[in-house]
Chain A
Amino acid sequence: MLIRTSDRHRARRAFSPEPAAPAAGGTDRRTFLKRSGLAAGGLAVLGGLPLGAVRKADAGVPPPAGATLTTRKNICTHCSVGCSVIAEVANDVWIGQEPDYDSPINRGSHCCKGAAVRDDVLSQRRLRYPVKLVDGKWVQLTWEQAVNEIGDKLLEIREKSGPDSVYWLGSAKFTNEAAYLNRKLAALWGTNNSDHQARICHSTTVTGVANTWGYGAMTNSYNDIRNAKTILVMGGNPAEAHPVSLQHILEGKELNRANMIVVDPRMTRTAAHATEYVRVRPGTHIATIYSILWHIFQNGWEDKEFLSQRVYGLEEIRAQVAKWHPAECERVTGLPEAQVRHIAEVFSKEKPATLIWAMGQTQFTTGTANVRASCILLLATGNMGYAGAGANIFRGHTNVQGATDLGLDVTTLPLYYGLSEEAWRHWGRVWEIDYDWLRSRFADKTLMEGPGIPSTRWFDATLLPKEQVSQPDTLQAMFVMGHGVNTITRLPEAVRGIEKLEMLVVCDPYPTAWSVLSERKNGTYLLPACTSFEMDGSRTASNRSIQWGEQIVSPVFQSKNDYDTMYLFAKKFGFADKMFKNIKVENGAVLAEDILREINRGGWSTGYCGQSPERLKAHMKNQHKFDLVTMMAPKDDPDVGGEYYGLPWPCWGTPEFKHPGTPILYNTNLSVKEGGGTFRARFGVERVVKRKVMENGQEVEKEQHDNLLAEGSYSVGSEIKDGYPEFTLGVLKKLGWDKDLTPAELAVIQGINIRNPDLVSWAIDLSGGIQRVAIEHGCSPYGNGKARMIAWNLPDPVPVHREPIYTPRPDLVADYPTLPDARQFRVPNIGFTVQKTAIDNGIAKQFPLILSSGRLVEYEGGGEETRSNKWLAELKQEMFVEINPSDAAARGVVDGGWVWVTGAESQSKTRMKAIVTERVGKGVAWMPYHFAGWYEGADLRDRYPKGADPFVLGESVNTLTTYGFDPATGMQEPKATLCQIRSA
């Protein structure tokens, strides 16, 4: 019996779920019971209850009488796992949340953030209307006034200093459509100064991984970790950063009795569930990987067949690895030989083995090299391209993968086309905008085709003398949509930067730290944006699955969705007709589906072409059909049969081609048509190297042609049983496959390059014909190449261990210095000088503790949104620093006591509580990075617009973080710097 007692029988609410959406609440509790399968690990169940007798109704706040209860499905906005959120809505008010057991990604689960997202929309701390700062006071204004005033000023700056003096900082919390629109807005404005959180998140991963095997993304999926026999987590704490992923990791670990090894400076919540925990010093990733490889090569544990068929550059790596014998390993990393050997043996023998990482590898000056070392380990052991293996790179924000894909990046247009003229012409064709007009928007062609300023350097580009910034003028205005300032290192300099700007526009659901940090009195505008729950749009999870979220309620207060805001500004700038040429706008409301259709029409290079809004919506409706482990729907299903959940990119061809998506990248065990693939032939077909060889007893230098295409390896069903280059019309012709193109396709191809259609490639063929034909012959459109261990276009072609800029081990810098000073991304990178100066000044003695930073489960990013969520804010009410008991004892610091933490630059200081814990090792201090609103001991609560201050404020760790930028990406170094702590 489900009612309490017979004498307490109560009338149950007579509530019928909206008939149009039966799937959301529906009968699926039975399915849930079935799927929860006791054998499969189990879930919470209403066991033994006569479920059939229970009438469905909806829990939560009872809706007002007469109101219809509707159920809507969206995606959690807080991390890249992509958990489905089911919302119950009455009278346009979000009144309750229900678990979505149908989603193969989260099966109803959430972390505290996902379980609290309703308050992201209900929050009374949201910014309610546009405001501007007038003589230090916030003054309300209408949207129309705001757009006019801001627009006029931006146009004035454009006139005076050129388009590059306005910075368009976008967001990883954008939908795909908003991210794309933001990049398009910057393009039409005439600058490549367009970036977002991926810069400080996984920019190094994208660069490093793409330069290894073609695409810079997670190769497998959260669900696929269930297949792993060995799970190696290096530089990630998914238990706090991606909690729902632990459902897959822990269930997989339990069912397979898998090894789960966590290598981290902290004994994290993830490490607590590992079979083995290894404590390392921050900033020694490459040294650790090479030390592991030393044992692998020493014992011949490498996967020789895989290496010979699908990998290039092993010899250079062997030479580098040879230096990392156990003694050197111990000198640099402190890891004992036995432990390293054990990891090496497990990782190479107990396969499939997967390597999981997040910001613990990326946020270093060696970030790109770090992730490449990880790739090298995976390649050497052959743990790539099949189920249970792979590089499971956990992205951070909800749509950081999508926003990266859609080109919110200073180095590329949407979908990794780069910034070359060919790329501009491609997008010009998609947008139906004349190339010459686009060209006229830029200051010059060099700037049009050269990378912009990374978000980590915006204040340098504002503060540096004009002549040191390689564009017509320094930055004058920041237009920030959904990006906290406190997640970027060197906050004291950012504060000076904010003060120097002519104009600061923050379009965000919350005021954010941008609005309070500086002494600025005028020229700051805050525009209320709505959350992604208040709009339609798709988002790409870390596993490349794209999920469509439907608007739950209308934007609250006076907030607007990003599409409409950008439309208003495009109109103000006078190019709305061009920008929205193929996108329907009705009464100022932009149709999200049309934006996705435009992305589909141009997204060939990354396989964003097949995921039409209709297909994505069908997936959301049929979530329950997808398998938990493979993420595939049964082949005979009429709606989504044979497709993988969320059509993980690349989803080749047009939507009509019905490619199922690619759940595992580079998987030769499946045909391309069914989601298989090869390594991308992205680096040419051969490499010419001069080598010294012995010839007739004499050493001579000879040019050798190294084959960069796969040898003897190809995906299932491939008609070419060997490596092959990427497809163009010319290649099709050589193979005689061009006859398979339809006349319509051929016409489109010929229209793209009238003079030489043979050069038209799979990536710019707007008809999709070249992809279709290649795939029908079982081939990857992008070719079948080798992954490369040596990336000759990067600053360190072979990854090399380099000490952090602020290292606690000055003695190692002579052997492992950072790279020389250079100019990158329009600004100077003087890391080498900074490192040398720090050593000369004995900084490591004055600041003897390593300071690292990371994520808490309750908060996200800069934390403004989550610290304004009453259910989350209650859980962590104070900023803190973790310090080892021995370091605390030496300083008279007690658990829970106040401390001053001082940093190595800008005489920075912060005041916070100490947590004395063995979680961190001796000599290491750790802080979360989600706090803001305090600065150098002062509480800035009064500076927020009235009523929009977050519940919880605290010092930002980035007040203490220091100089250091990855030369390939401009990534900052917040994971390893130095600090000192004293009792306050």
Chain B
Amino acid sequence: MARMKFLCDADRCIDCNACATACKNENEVPWGINRRRVVTINDGRPGERSVSMACMHCTDAPCASVCPVECIYPTEDGIVLHSKDVCIGCGYCFYACPFGAPQYPKVGNFGSRGKMDKCTYCAGGGGTEVSGSAEEYEKYGSNRFGEGKLPLCAEMCSTKSLLAGDGDIIAQIYKERVLKRGYGSGAWGWMTAYHEGIEV
């Protein structure tokens, strides 16, 4: 069984934000919701590195664990999906998420932030809607995965920095890159997300 993962090769990422707009475009994500984003470490200084980040679809996903209504769950492919019908917008998943992935549309007053929204790995939603239906699209966005395609953010990455696909294979690609070029700043977030790094 393939285990889907994301890997951002920070030595390739140039903070072009293609992943961010590809995500918006593919899933019609509204203004203010940022399922994917690029953060630059050491901005403007030697050693500067940018990393594209979204839901990493963690192993033992902490968001799923803390969710008081258990609306978040991993699929057989390791993709962490959630049901917006069940979500109550409590915000706990954001506190638990090591990657700042959950987003809330902030409707209404006080703590009513609306249903949580996050990267679905372009695999539709975790609700009861029919896969690929307009209802599913409306609520969660695209279901590329069901069509045999990968998340558009990775597919459109300008420098092939952001890799998506089976964890073993993208880890292999990354390893070979590091061996070829002789350096690598590591698979960002892997230790936290998957309890494993990539040894080169």
B146 at interface, CB cutoff 8 A: yes
B195 at interface, CB cutoff 8 A: no
B112 at interface, CB cutoff 8 A: no
Given the complex, which residues of B lie within 8 Å of A6, measured CB to CB? 76
Residue of A nearest to B176 (CB): A38
B198 at interface, CB cutoff 8 A: no
Q: Are B22 and A11 in contact (CB under 8 A)?
A: no
Given the complex, which residues of A lie within 8 Å of B51, measured CB to CB? none
Known contacts A4-B123, A45-B170; is-contact A59 B25 (Cβ 8 Å): no
Query: A856-901: which residues lie under 8 A (CB-CB) from chain B?
Result: 857-858, 870-872, 874-875, 882
Given the complex, which residues of A lie within 8 Å of B48, measured CB to CB? 267, 269, 272
Given the complex, which residues of A lie within 8 Å of B166, measured CB to CB? 45-49
Q: Are B76 and A44 in contact (CB under 8 A)?
A: no
Interchain CB contact (< 8 A) of B168 among A11, A48, A251, A257? A48
Known contacts A49-B2, A875-B20; is-contact A13 B147 (Cβ 8 Å): yes
Q: Are B18 and A115 in contact (CB under 8 A)?
A: yes
Given the complex, which residues of B lie within 8 Å of A465, measured CB to CB? none
B107 at interface, CB cutoff 8 A: no
Which stretch of B54-62, B85-93, B94-102, B136-144 is in the interface?
B136-144
Given the complex, which residues of A lie within 8 Å of B14, measured CB to CB? 239-240, 243, 246, 269-270, 272-273, 857
Minimum CB–CB distance for B7 against chain A, Å = 9
A34 at interface, CB cutoff 8 A: no
Q: Are B44 and A1 in contact (CB under 8 A)?
A: no
Minimum CB–CB distance for A746 against chain B, Å = 52
Q: Are B134 and A240 in contact (CB under 8 A)?
A: no
Minimum CB–CB distance for B149 against chain A, Å = 6
Query: A227-273: which residues lie under 8 A (CB-CB) from chain B?
Result: 239-240, 243-244, 246-247, 250-251, 253-255, 257, 267, 269-270, 272-273
Interchain CB contact (< 8 A) of B158 among A12, A39, A244? A244
Minimum CB–CB distance for B183 against chain A, Å = 9
Q: Are A109 and B159 in contact (CB under 8 A)?
A: yes
**A109 to B159 Cα, complex, angstroms:** 7
**A111 to B19 Cα, complex, angstroms:** 8
Interchain CB contact (< 8 A) of B150 among A46, A96, A253, A270? A46
Residue of B nearest to A117 (CB): B25
Given the complex, which residues of B lie within 8 Å of A58, measured CB to CB? 147
Residue of B nearest to A99 (CB): B155
A350 at interface, CB cutoff 8 A: no
Q: Indicate with 1 or 0, residue by residue over A99-140, a CB within 8 angstroms of chain B CB atoms.
A: 100000001111111111011000000000000000000000
Choose among A11, A45, A57, A255 the residue with the greatest number of B CB atoms under 10 Å from its CB.
A45
**A54 to B17 Cα, complex, angstroms:** 30
* Interface size of A as a range: 35 or more
Minimum CB–CB distance for B152 against chain A, Å = 7
B145 at interface, CB cutoff 8 A: yes
Given the complex, which residues of A lie within 8 Å of B145, measured CB to CB? 2, 4
Q: Are B160 and A41 in contact (CB under 8 A)?
A: yes
B46 at interface, CB cutoff 8 A: yes
Given the complex, which residues of A lie within 8 Å of B103, measured CB to CB? none
Residue of A nearest to B172 (CB): A38
Q: Indicate with 1 or 0, residue by residue over B11-28, a CB within 8 angstroms of chain A CB atoms.
A: 110111111111011101
A97 at interface, CB cutoff 8 A: yes
Interchain CB contact (< 8 A) of B146 among A10, A41, A44? A10
**A187 to B177 Cα, complex, angstroms:** 54
Interchain CB contact (< 8 A) of B24 among A57, A116, A251, A919? A116
Given the complex, which residues of B lie within 8 Å of A13, measured CB to CB? 132, 147
**A188 to B129 Cα, complex, angstroms:** 61
Residue of B nearest to A255 (CB): B180
A626 at interface, CB cutoff 8 A: no
Minimum CB–CB distance for A917 against chain B, Å = 4
Q: Are B148 and A1 in contact (CB under 8 A)?
A: no
Q: Are A1 and B1 in contact (CB under 8 A)?
A: yes
B72 at interface, CB cutoff 8 A: no
A62 at interface, CB cutoff 8 A: yes
Given the complex, which residues of A lie within 8 Å of B157, measured CB to CB? 44, 109
B193 at interface, CB cutoff 8 A: no
Choose among B17, B21, B160 the residue with the greatest number of A CB atoms under 10 Å from its CB.
B21
**A421 to B50 Cα, complex, angstroms:** 55
Interchain CB contact (< 8 A) of A44 among B131, B134, B170, B182? B170
Q: Are B160 and A44 in contact (CB under 8 A)?
A: yes
Residue of B nearest to A917 (CB): B44
**A118 to B176 Cα, complex, angstroms:** 35
Known contacts A1-B1, A38-B176, A44-B170; is-contact A110 B22 (Cβ 8 Å): yes
Given the complex, which residues of A lie within 8 Å of B160, measured CB to CB? 41-44, 107, 109, 247, 251
Minimum CB–CB distance for B102 against chain A, Å = 18
B63 at interface, CB cutoff 8 A: no
Minimum CB–CB distance for B6 against chain A, Å = 9
B192 at interface, CB cutoff 8 A: no
Residue of B nearest to A48 (CB): B166
The A/B interface has a contact count, at CB < 8 Å, of 243
Q: Are B12 and A250 in contact (CB under 8 A)?
A: yes
Residue of A nearest to B143 (CB): A59
Main SS at interface, chain A: loop
Interchain CB contact (< 8 A) of A874 among B25, B31, B133, B159? B31
Q: Are B159 and A246 in contact (CB under 8 A)?
A: yes
Q: Are B163 and A870 in contact (CB under 8 A)?
A: no
Q: Indicate with 1 or 0, residue by residue over B160-200, a CB within 8 angstroms of chain A CB atoms.
A: 10111110111011101100111000000000000000000
Q: Are A48 and B169 in contact (CB under 8 A)?
A: yes
B39 at interface, CB cutoff 8 A: no
Minimum CB–CB distance for A423 against chain B, Å = 41
A982 at interface, CB cutoff 8 A: no
Q: Are A112 and B163 in contact (CB under 8 A)?
A: no
B79 at interface, CB cutoff 8 A: yes
Given the complex, which residues of A lie within 8 Å of B168, measured CB to CB? 47-48
Q: Are B147 and A56 in contact (CB under 8 A)?
A: yes
Interchain CB contact (< 8 A) of A42 among B25, B131, B148, B177? B177
Known contacts A97-B26, A247-B159, A871-B21; is-contact A273 B11 (Cβ 8 Å): yes
Minimum CB–CB distance for A923 against chain B, Å = 16
Interchain CB contact (< 8 A) of B26 among A1, A60, A62? A60
Given the complex, which residues of B lie within 8 Å of A51, measured CB to CB? 148
Minimum CB–CB distance for A272 against chain B, Å = 4
Given the complex, which residues of A lie within 8 Å of B133, measured CB to CB? 62
A5 at interface, CB cutoff 8 A: yes
B154 at interface, CB cutoff 8 A: yes
Choose among B46, B124, B146, B163 the residue with the greatest number of A CB atoms under 10 Å from its CB.
B146
Query: A13-65: which residues lie under 8 A (CB-CB) from chain B?
Result: 13, 29, 38-39, 41-49, 51, 54-62
**A12 to B133 Cα, complex, angstroms:** 9
Q: Are A108 and B156 in contact (CB under 8 A)?
A: yes
Q: Indicate with 1 or 0, residue by residue over A59-88, a CB within 8 angstroms of chain B CB atoms.
A: 111100000000000000000000000000
Interchain CB contact (< 8 A) of A857 among B17, B22, B142, B182? B17
Given the complex, which residues of B lie within 8 Å of A239, measured CB to CB? 14-16
Q: Are B21 and A46 in contact (CB under 8 A)?
A: no
Q: Are B177 and A60 in contact (CB under 8 A)?
A: no
Known: A1-B2, A4-B123, A49-B165. 19 other contacts (CB 8 A): A38-B173, A42-B174, A44-B163, A47-B166, A48-B2, A59-B144, A60-B26, A110-B156, A114-B18, A239-B16, A240-B14, A244-B158, A250-B12, A251-B159, A255-B180, A871-B20, A874-B31, A874-B32, A917-B44
Chain B residues within CB distance 8 Å of chain A: 1-2, 11-12, 14-22, 24-26, 28, 31-32, 34, 43-46, 48-50, 75-77, 79, 81, 122-124, 130-134, 137, 142-150, 152, 154-160, 162-166, 168-170, 172-174, 176-177, 180-182
The 4 closest A-B pairs by CB, nearest first: A47-B169, A10-B131, A54-B148, A919-B44
Query: What are 30 A-B contacts with C-beta separation under 8 Å?
Result: A4-B131, A4-B145, A5-B75, A43-B173, A44-B155, A45-B163, A45-B173, A47-B166, A54-B148, A61-B137, A62-B133, A62-B134, A97-B152, A99-B152, A107-B160, A109-B159, A114-B18, A115-B19, A115-B152, A240-B14, A247-B158, A251-B159, A253-B181, A254-B180, A272-B48, A272-B50, A857-B14, A857-B16, A870-B31, A920-B44
